[in-house]
Structure 1
Amino acid sequence: MTMENDLLNPPLPQAPHLALPKLPTWLCRLWHKMLTPLFKHFEHGRIEITLPSGGHLVYGAGSPDGPTAHVTVHQHATLWRILSRGPLGLAESYMDAQWSCDDLTTLFDICLKNRAIFEAIRARGSVAHLFARLKHLSRANSLKGSRRNIAYHYDLGNDFYDLWLDRTMTYSSALGVKAGEDLAISQWRKFDKALAMCNAKEGDHILEIGCGWGAFAERATDAGCQVDGLTLSREQLAYSTVRAETKEFSDRARFHLRDYRHETGTYNAIVSIEMIEAVGEENWPVYFQCLRDRLKPGGQAAIQAITIHDDQYERYRRSADFIQTYIFPGGMLPTKGLMKEHAEQAGLELVEQHIFGADYAKTLARWRQNFLAAWPKIAALGYDERFRRMWLYYLSYCEAGFENGTIDVGLYSFRKPA
């Protein structure tokens, strides 16, 4: 921990304490001894831990009525996995049902508000993260690797996603999410914003890089545009094609199983919604050059991107986190600054940006609720309890990240010179 962090997070007068005067076993005392240094700079919220042998640890000086996460440890082996593998060990032990929490999102929120805790846990897993990073590098987004990486996540099955996404089948952040409002309305609102930011007009031909299940194409054709959508997912291609035929916009939208690097046409506008995260750092220059090459002079591209803060980027790019290891192999988040830099190098001008990370937290909360409600039907598709816990961890982890601003999402408009 740096001196700067020590100054920003001075030790609290009230040290982490035990709710019970005595711990029943030496294993409980070991938990106390190993965790207390990690929690010494606890300033926000409260974490209560119940151990297998009956011990009870309470960390944080917060009021019991404030943000509190209740953690129940089912196996003492959890401690070793956290100490040896850091954040990956925390995730893996949860996936293996070695511990549970009444509210994962609150737990992650507390950890992110107490950055010193998160950094201390991460430092414990440096070796594990090195190996995870090497595995991540082996999943590079070559032409063959990109298709494999996309299939890993998006080819889980249309039936799976249909059970918990909103009725538009959109797997990206909605815009202007309101309590009690159908999430589909917020998704249409996002598509309308993207159309405005790429300056699309009736009769324009739009290239969509990463077309998902065809929701944007449906909205764009309703606005009088022609759309060519690219995907690397066979499941998405099949769904989008049937969608266009069923909803009678197949004469205005075509979908292709094609890598963006193989596209040769030119278009009035380009839209790419949360696809850049799957491009890979090594291919960002290629991606932005593709945008320029595929745009007609004066054309604009609207890119929706999840970004990570500049001060976290170098550490992030040198390791591989839970999401890169288990959810999105080959994934890599850019920073806002890097996007602008690569765009300018490709000859594109950033003309507008609209940031809405808080809406992603709300979108993820809806997805998490839908996922849990639909779990009996998801399980009937053949997915097991480890899969359920992995996805719950993933959705809660991301929700807390957007809520705290550790990661963000925005729509960015780039223009090619006339």
Structure 2
Amino acid sequence: MALDQTGIIPARQEDPTRWRELSRVPRGPRARFGASIAEALFRSATRDLPIRVDYSDTASVADAASPRMVLHRPDHFFARLAAGGLIGFGESYMAGDWSSPDLTDVLTVLAGRIDTLVPAPLHRLRRVFLPRVPHSQYGAPGDARANIAHHYDLSNEFFSLFLDDSMTYSSALFTGADATPTWQDLGEAQQRKIDRLLDGAAVAAGTRLLEIGTGWGELAIRAAQRGARVHTITLSREQQLLARNRIAAAGLSSEVTVALCDYRDVRGTYDAIVSVEMIEAVGHRYLPTYLYTLDRLLADDGRIALQAITMPDHRMRATRNTYTWIHKYIFPGGFLPSVDLLEQIVASRTGLRVVDRYSFGSHYAHTLRLWLQRFTSRTSSAEALGFDEIFRRMWGFYLAYSQAGFASGYLDVHQFVLDRASGDGHHDAG
């Protein structure tokens, strides 16, 4: 696809048949017989929550000041919930079966009670009733590029609708003075995040730096401005093109190479390795391979800085094989590790050690709030790019859903610094 005069790749037009499945309300036996059960469970789960659910058949008795969820088509909502669980919950929002003037607040309440929304005796039925992650989303080399393209190749112009000028698509790091950060604070907060990672990896003049996950090139630019020689890799063709353009515009093409490459295919040795929120795309089956690869590529006196989204260990273990709404519509193959799992694999499968860990999940909630506000304010621009109403509802739900995860504490984000454990060499992949 050709670049336009701004250097941004135009968005593809939406396939008019894309939402055909969504337009059909489930009518099978599971939906027919399960809808009444789903309704009973939903009413029971939400009865004592600090949210207001408005049904078509009854006036709400909840506090009118509470976040409000409106069921426009309750029958459709409960049929989708019965047929698809949490996938059906997200699809029913996309289809317009329910809405909320306080979407993030509603989702934050639900995320904060995620362990108790479904009665404990039903948890053991997860394997029977919930779909499993398809093999194509395990993270194998042959599938990884398609999984990445599904998300990141929507178009660079689309992401520019809600990201700041640095095109940084990961949590910013605000200061204590930014109690309620504004859009004007975001660019500086993204630079602060990047600089903390580069400092953690000891990136300086002459450093041979490997970046796994280019994004749109901002970290590579800032590292090269320090005098580092940067090799950055991505599986997104659109990111590669725009990152190269931005790097060239900064006059740094001779210091930075941007390769379309799987992390498993990288060769050589590097003084520093930095990877920002790429580990979530690896998949839990390939997490040992990913961390071993970092071990293999790092010089003996080198350092690694990682930024990773995490979830509680018990939830990670319960859900790691479950196919979710996020997998189906947003991040095929995505997997959020726990801190315990990461540190366990580092200790048992590599010659590395974690020397620093910093948590700043509340900063991600602020980052996502600003992205969502920006995206919502640019509805007409998204429509002009060819992204229809259902897509825009989907993307808004994803941003609000993510913000709710961090605001409730269900999700966290960490920066890790690793180096070579004393006296240890490179470990085998084993």
Match runs of 1:47-66 below 5 Å = 47-51=52-56, 55-58=57-60, 63-65=63-65
**Of 185, 189, 212, the match for 1:186:** 189
Q: Is the 8 A contact 2:153 2:238 kept in 1?
A: yes
Match of 1:242 in 2: 245
Whole-Å Cα distance in 2 between the matches of residues 128 and 162 of structure 1?
A: 41
1:224 shift after superposition: 2.0
1:314 shift after superposition: 1.8
Match of 1:145 in 2: 143
The amino acid across from 1:130 in the alignment is L
Match of 1:16 in 2: none
Q: How has the CA–CA distance of structure 1 residues 346 and 124 changed in structure 2, closer, same or farther, with 3 Å as cutoff? A: closer
Match of 2:171 in 1: 173
Q: Is the 8 A contact 1:129 1:319 kept in 2?
A: no
Q: Is the 8 A contact 2:148 2:235 kept in 1?
A: yes
**Of 383, 389, 394, the match for 2:398:** 394
Task: Note if 1:308 corresponds to 2:307.
Answer: no
Q: Is the 8 A contact 1:210 1:272 kept in 2?
A: yes
Match of 2:346 in 1: 343
Match of 1:105 in 2: 104
Match of 2:27 in 1: none
1:390 shift after superposition: 0.8
**Of 286, 293, 296, the match for 1:293:** 296
Match of 2:235 in 1: 232
The amino acid across from 2:58 in the alignment is H
Match runs of 1:12-411 below 5 Å = 35-40=39-44, 42-51=47-56, 55-58=57-60, 63-65=63-65, 67-74=66-73, 76-115=75-114, 118-120=117-119, 126=126, 130-131=130-131, 133-135=132-134, 137-176=135-174, 178=178, 179-180=181-182, 181-344=184-347, 345-411=349-415
Higher RCO structure, 1 or 2 (CA under 8 Å, sep 6+): 2
> What's the TM-score once normalised by structure 1's chain length?
0.85
Whole-Å Cα distance in 1 between the matches of residues 99 and 344 of structure 2?
A: 43
Gaps of 5+ in 1: 1-29
Match of 1:23 in 2: none
1:119 shift after superposition: 2.5
Whole-Å Cα distance in 2 between the matches of residues 282 and 33 of structure 1?
A: 35
Whole-Å Cα distance in 2 between the matches of residues 31 and 228 of structure 1?
A: 53
Deviations 1:102-125 (A, max 9, x none): 121111112123346632599699
The amino acid across from 2:105 in the alignment is T
Whole-Å Cα distance in 2 between the matches of residues 134 and 244 of structure 1?
A: 37
Q: Is the 8 A contact 1:198 1:301 kept in 2?
A: yes
Aligned length: 381
Match of 2:417 in 1: 413
Whole-Å Cα distance in 2 between the matches of residues 241 and 129 of structure 1?
A: 46
SS of match in other structure, 1:251: coil
Q: Is the 8 A contact 1:308 1:334 kept in 2?
A: yes
SS of match in other structure, 1:108: helix
Deviations 1:396-416 (A, max 9, x none): 111011111111101001102
Q: Is the 8 A contact 2:277 2:308 kept in 1?
A: yes
1:34 shift after superposition: 5.9
1:221 shift after superposition: 1.4
Q: How has the CA–CA distance of structure 1 residues 385 and 90 changed in structure 2, closer, same or farther, with 3 Å as cutoff? A: same
1:98 shift after superposition: 1.7
Whole-Å Cα distance in 1 between the matches of residues 273 and 332 of structure 2?
A: 25
Whole-Å Cα distance in 1 between the matches of residues 55 and 329 of structure 2?
A: 27
Deviations 1:214-249 (A, max 9, x none): 010111112222211000000000001111111111
Whole-Å Cα distance in 2 between the matches of residues 69 and 107 of structure 1?
A: 7
Whole-Å Cα distance in 2 between the matches of residues 108 and 129 of structure 1?
A: 23
Whole-Å Cα distance in 2 between the matches of residues 73 and 31 of structure 1?
A: 16
SS of match in other structure, 1:192: helix
SS of match in other structure, 2:77: helix
SS of match in other structure, 2:60: strand
Whole-Å Cα distance in 1 between the matches of residues 95 and 125 of structure 2?
A: 18
The amino acid across from 2:401 in the alignment is Y
Q: How has the CA–CA distance of structure 1 residues 145 and 309 changed in structure 2, closer, same or farther, with 3 Å as cutoff? A: same
1:274 shift after superposition: 0.3
Q: Is the 8 A contact 1:356 1:410 kept in 2?
A: yes
SS of match in other structure, 2:118: helix
Whole-Å Cα distance in 2 between the matches of residues 313 and 57 of structure 1?
A: 38
Q: Is the 8 A contact 2:310 2:336 kept in 1?
A: yes
1:57 shift after superposition: 4.5
Q: How has the CA–CA distance of structure 1 residues 59 and 305 changed in structure 2, closer, same or farther, with 3 Å as cutoff? A: farther
Gaps of 5+ in 2: 1-33, 423-430
Deviations 1:268-321 (A, max 9, x none): 100000000001111111111111111111211001001110121121113122
Q: Is the 8 A contact 1:212 1:236 kept in 2?
A: yes
Q: Is the 8 A contact 1:141 1:280 kept in 2?
A: yes
1:85 shift after superposition: 2.0
Match of 1:18 in 2: none
Whole-Å Cα distance in 1 between the matches of residues 41 and 59 of structure 2?
A: 13
Whole-Å Cα distance in 1 between the matches of residues 394 and 141 of structure 2?
A: 28
Q: How has the CA–CA distance of structure 1 residues 254 and 34 changed in structure 2, closer, same or farther, with 3 Å as cutoff? A: closer
Match of 1:10 in 2: none
Whole-Å Cα distance in 1 between the matches of residues 402 and 235 of structure 2?
A: 24
